Chain A
């Protein structure tokens, strides 16, 4: 038995966008991974002391390959919790494969990351945009809406959402009156929104992230476009509500996994997070980073700090309870998330649909 206090230190890498446009999500993920490590290090039963190597991929594929190489070629790093941006995750899978570093993707949603290869090193705890849009289409058509206009940004995120939502919506019997691609840094949407005003859709579907979502929703109001605003996981952030104030009311959005506060351990996560006094919120994907980090540390606890053994251990993940629900990896090491949670903004908060006044019929989404 090693004496108490003489545990070996094991390093794991966290990679995400800490600077640039989506830094809020990267920092939330970083804090959550850090929290998981702190909690584990405070646990006397843990066999190892963990150290988090934090790297910034700037949401750029070339930088991602650099930092992934740095982490993967460093033999003291046993596993990684990696990437929020899909292009970066796509660019780095080969690096992890080459150097044999097992990683768990914590935020990137493009299906190809796990499904376009068969690398045993690559796992993912969050669901893909296919699951998300399937649920979204069925749910919103169930609310008796029939006509949509789609705005999406031209990144992989926005384009992917447009593709999968359009397919799912057509199957569910909805009608798309017009589709508009916009660049991720576009400021003015008068042209698109004026066109949409003429089309008179009941719902505007937006595939993109918070900054763009805030701009489009507020310009809808200025131009008098009356429609329900339906977003994707990319706008589920506190920044969205802060940016819009009362205009955010009634916005719909969808995210994989169960709502954190409703899961065993979820409340504890939020409380522990608050206790650490991180300057940033965990954001939508913080819980996924937390769950991924725990998954990695559990594997190391069981198999020891050896990349190949940790990889085998992660591959075997079945029915593991976590703050984002039960995790089971399929044959492509993709978490087959059974649950998509539906959110609506009510009184300046993202509220789970079932708990909202909208579900009980006390309030109604704006119809034309």
Chain B
């Protein structure tokens, strides 16, 4: 019996609607109302098995769903085309999700905890600051990703010789090291930081507003948002494909039991390092574009706390499920901004909300499902 496409499309539409609502409302009460609606929908989806139907329908229409998501993303950008602040938030969410996808690859699949996500973001960002204006922007993004992967390789050996908490400690140490290095290094701007030139593509400078006529002017964040969402979409599809392939299977095996995996001829060390490097490259890519969007980099943006934000996106989203990262990033990035009205108490409420989510949904917002092989009963 063919599975209908509408449950998946409805889920995508609801998600986009919630995102738009959260970006557009400003009032405290309205923000909390949107959150309440989101939470209620999540509970309903769980209780009525609507969530499973949507997932089954998405699995049955693997080509339709990405198109729908892309359409919703573009629709969102068009809806917000004149709202600079909302678009900046959208860019930040997309790029933080991109970085979190990198961490997800490392932690969710290969089981390598990385508490230095912000440091790799920083490597990408500083690459954009130093090389921007000298190289074509696309090359700058690629170089940022490459250098982040390279910096991660420094940790390959110590990471292979340690396990669990100790490996996590090594990444923490690396994060602190990089931050201190940036602070004392005057050629990289020292503690004051550096300006970052904007993205240009074939003569189109992304930092200029798009003016149609006297009354119609789109925010300069529109092209950034489209680019960020496109990068995120492409990477998401790639990660999904990876998960379904034998590579994903090998990574899962290494995470669950490295010894058993080795007995089946899977080289645990090689896979861990590969996942670590690719993940860091994604962080570097996100960092390079984020720096161009922000226009400025300085060491305080890449502190340990910012690495924890990335880790909390992965955990909040549901470890191992790339789909959960987007709502989690929305919560972690947009919510503190939307709670600005509470001034110094906003992080208190934010922390309470995060604890509530983890208390009520210990597996995260959208936990990972068991692998289901097409063709098997």
Interface size on B, residues (CB 8 A): 30
Judge whether B283 is part of the interface by a CB distance below 8 angstroms.
no
Interface string of A148-168 (1 = CB under 8 A from B): 000000111111000000000
Chain B residues lying within 8 Å of A67, measured Cβ to Cβ, are: 337, 340
Does B343 contact A159, Cβ atoms closer than 8 Å?
no
Judge whether B166 is part of the interface by a CB distance below 8 angstroms.
no
**A276 CB → nearest B CB, Å:** 15
Judge whether B252 is part of the interface by a CB distance below 8 angstroms.
no
Chain A residues lying within 8 Å of B259, measured Cβ to Cβ, are: none
Does A56 contact B346, Cβ atoms closer than 8 Å?
yes
Tell me which of A85-93, A216-224, A253-261, A292-300 binds B: A85-93
Judge whether B84 is part of the interface by a CB distance below 8 angstroms.
yes
CA distance A87 to B191 in the complex (A): 8
Judge whether B310 is part of the interface by a CB distance below 8 angstroms.
no
Judge whether B192 is part of the interface by a CB distance below 8 angstroms.
yes
Known A-B contacts A19-B347, A60-B300, A154-B183; A66 and B193 likewise in contact (beta carbons under 8 Å): no
B68-98, CB < 8 A from A: 83-85, 88-89, 92
Does B191 contact A69, Cβ atoms closer than 8 Å?
no
B329-349, CB < 8 A from A: 337, 340, 343-344, 346-347
Known A-B contacts A56-B346, A61-B298; A69 and B192 likewise in contact (beta carbons under 8 Å): no
Does A18 contact B192, Cβ atoms closer than 8 Å?
no
Does A30 contact B297, Cβ atoms closer than 8 Å?
no
Identify whether the interface residues of B are mostly helix, strand, loop, or mixed: helix
Contact of B192 among A55, A65, A95, A156 (CB under 8 A): A156
**B101 CB → nearest A CB, Å:** 19
Does B184 contact A54, Cβ atoms closer than 8 Å?
no
Judge whether B66 is part of the interface by a CB distance below 8 angstroms.
no
Contact of A156 among B83, B191, B219, B294 (CB under 8 A): B191
**B92 CB → nearest A CB, Å:** 7
**A325 CB → nearest B CB, Å:** 28
Interface size on A, residues (CB 8 A): 36
Known A-B contacts A56-B344, A70-B85, A155-B183; A61 and B296 likewise in contact (beta carbons under 8 Å): yes
Known A-B contacts A56-B340, A73-B85; A94 and B191 likewise in contact (beta carbons under 8 Å): no
Does B191 contact A154, Cβ atoms closer than 8 Å?
yes
Judge whether A243 is part of the interface by a CB distance below 8 angstroms.
no
Judge whether A181 is part of the interface by a CB distance below 8 angstroms.
yes
Which residue of A is nearest B340, CB measured? A55
Does B193 contact A91, Cβ atoms closer than 8 Å?
yes
**B147 CB → nearest A CB, Å:** 20
Does B191 contact A159, Cβ atoms closer than 8 Å?
yes
Which residue of A is nearest B179, CB measured? A183
Judge whether A314 is part of the interface by a CB distance below 8 angstroms.
no
Does B301 contact A155, Cβ atoms closer than 8 Å?
no
**B209 CB → nearest A CB, Å:** 9
Chain A residues lying within 8 Å of B343, measured Cβ to Cβ, are: 18, 30, 54, 56
Judge whether A190 is part of the interface by a CB distance below 8 angstroms.
no
Which residue of A is nearest B296, CB measured? A91
CA distance A90 to B190 in the complex (A): 13
26 A-B pairs with CB atoms under 8 Å apart are A19-B346, A19-B347, A30-B343, A56-B340, A59-B300, A61-B298, A61-B300, A62-B294, A62-B301, A65-B294, A65-B296, A66-B89, A66-B337, A67-B340, A69-B88, A73-B83, A73-B84, A87-B192, A87-B300, A99-B84, A154-B180, A154-B183, A154-B184, A154-B190, A157-B191, A158-B191
Which 7 pairs between the two chains have the least Cβ-Cβ distance?
A: A91-B296, A73-B84, A156-B191, A18-B344, A62-B301, A70-B85, A156-B192
